[in-house]
Amino acid sequence: MERNELFYLTRLRLAAWYALVMGCILGVSGLGVYQIVAHAYHETIDQGLESVAKALHKSIEPVWGKPKQLKQLAKQLSLDVCLTQADCLLSQTTGIQQSLSNVADPVNYYLRLLDQSQRPLTVAGVQLEQLPIASAEIRRQTLIDTSGIRYRQISLRLRTQSQFTGYMQVGRSLKDLDQHLATLRLALLLGWPVTMIIIAICSWYLASNAMQPVYRSYQQMEQFTGDAAHEFRTPLAAMHATIDAAFKLHGQSGSDLLSEPISKTLQVIKRQNARLSKLVGDLLLLARLDQHQLAGEYCLCCLNDLISDLVEELAFLAIEAQVKLVQQVQTPKKLCILGNEEQLYRLFSNLIINGIQATPNGGQVTVTLQRGDVSRQVASLRQRQGRTRLRYAFIIVQDTGIGIAPEHQSSIFGRFYRIDRDRSRASGGSGLGLALACAIARAHRGSIQVQSQLNKGSTFTVKLPLQH
């Protein structure tokens, strides 16, 4: 697809929206996958912990109220018997071995037996100074030890002859789970931007393929517009020449070759022919601008002289409309750009004439020429990149006319768009003036903007890059 500003921006927006939507879908999907995996891991751990706790509870509860048998069980399970709180804090355990190792991994699990006051009686696994006793009234809870390792714990009540006499707490380390989830998070965080880059590249090419039929239709429409405008010029010119010849012949003969009704009819036809010729010329110029066929006709143009000549030429039109036309040049230097002088003349004359026509009697149209520079930070960056065009010329056409409603301001640069159709027809406008102005500004790597308030006036600002 050839570079076309309109289609390029549309392609860029289409690709950006596609990538954004896919990025959101992938982000939500990745978050959902992470939550599902984490939930599955936790469910598996809770089920395993529940199984271990029930097996130990089944072995411990029958001998819980029998001290001798409890000591014997403690030896079998390698539990540290705590006669006092200090004993449990100072005890050195060797881990859950023998019978406990049959139902659980002694490295990841721990076991604690508490009395009714939740004081430790026996411990195995994690030391109390590393993971203090938590409330035994909460059946399931997640704890964090002093080194930051998380544990999942289940608390069960111990009964002797149906009487509540203590608690059993069984816990499991979540270190391996956290490592797995951390690996999954890292994979998702690294995979998302990589996938987004791939999606962005694919989106760019998919957008291009999707827009190819539209772009071909647009090119055919442009070609048709240019060809039709070109073909219309010949019959219109012939019609104009025929009418002029008839009037010339009538004047030379001195006879009543043309009656008054016929003469008036020919005058109307001549005016409409001139209007159609102007419309065809505008369409042909727009087609050539869209196809970038005028780039080779550019030369160095002085904006100071161009604006001065234009204001001088249009002064009579302003006087006739009883509007004051003012020129302000706010730079002592000549401002020159690389462009087509005829097109630039058309651009500025359209804006000034529109301003005069939209301004009531006694109003004012001000044409300002000034120079503007980009910010230092941007200028410095562009200098490092080797760019030279850092300065711009601003041509501002400001009137005190009727203004433009906000809902129309985004559409006034469209082709054949009229805000007031009756006024446009009365002034002979075709609705292509501002469209031509915008196309000419873009063809010169510039831009045009409008600011307007109803009953206060409008300000059109043209920005063009200066030639050093």
pLDDT tens, residue by residue, 117-151: 888 877 777 776 778 888 888 889 999 888 888 99
The single-letter DSSP state of residue 359 is S
Residue 55 lies in a domain: no
Do residues 302 and 161 both lie within one domain? no
Stronger pLDDT, 285 or 291, i.e. the higher one = 285
Lowest mean pLDDT, pick from 90-104, 179-193, 330-344, 361-375: 90-104
SS percent in the chain: helix, strand, coil, step 5: 55, 20, 25
In tens, the pLDDT along 222-272 reads 666 666 666 676 677 777 777 777 777 666 555 555 567 777 777 778 777
b/e map 36-67, b = 16+ CB within 10 Å: eeeeebeeebeebbeebbebbbeebbebbeee
According to DSSP, the residues that pair with 328 across neighbouring strands are 368
Give pLDDT, residue 86. Answer: 45
**The pLDDT of residue 48 is above 60:** yes
**The pLDDT of residue 27 is above 70:** yes
In tens, the pLDDT along 336-358 reads 888 888 889 989 998 999 899 88
- Which is nearest to 273 in space by CA: 159, 428, 47, 130? 428
The single-letter DSSP state of residue 403 is -
Q: For residues 38 and 18, give the distance between their C-alpha atoms in angstroms, rounded to a whole number.
A: 30
Do residues 160 and 300 both lie within one domain? no
Residue 26 lies in a domain: no
**Angle at 16 (CA atoms; ends 10, 18), nearest 5 degrees:** 105
Residue-range definition of the domain harbouring residue 304 = 296-465
Residue 461 neighbours by CB distance under 10 Å: 16
Stronger pLDDT, 118 or 284, i.e. the higher one = 118
Residue 452 lies in a domain: yes
pLDDT bracket for residue 115 (50, 70, 90)? confident
Contacts for 176 with CB less than 8 Å, ≥ 6 apart: 108
Last residue of a domain, one of 157, 173, 189: 173
**The pLDDT of residue 92 is above 50:** no
**The pLDDT of residue 68 is above 90:** no
**The pLDDT of residue 376 is above 80:** no
pLDDT bracket for residue 381 (50, 70, 90)? very low
Residue 193 lies in a domain: no
Do residues 301 and 156 both lie within one domain? no
Domain count, the chain: 2
Residue 130 lies in a domain: yes
As a whole number, the mean pLDDT across the chain is: 78
Q: For residues 291 and 226, give the distance between their C-alpha atoms in angstroms, rounded to a whole number.
A: 10
Q: What is the CATH number of the domain that holds 411?
A: 3.30.565.10
Q: What is the CATH number of the domain that holds 146?
A: 3.30.450
Q: For residues 86 and 127, give the distance between their C-alpha atoms in angstroms, rounded to a whole number.
A: 12
- Which is nearest to 49 in space by CA: 117, 141, 122? 141
Residue 83 lies in a domain: yes
Last residue of a domain, one of 173, 191, 226: 173
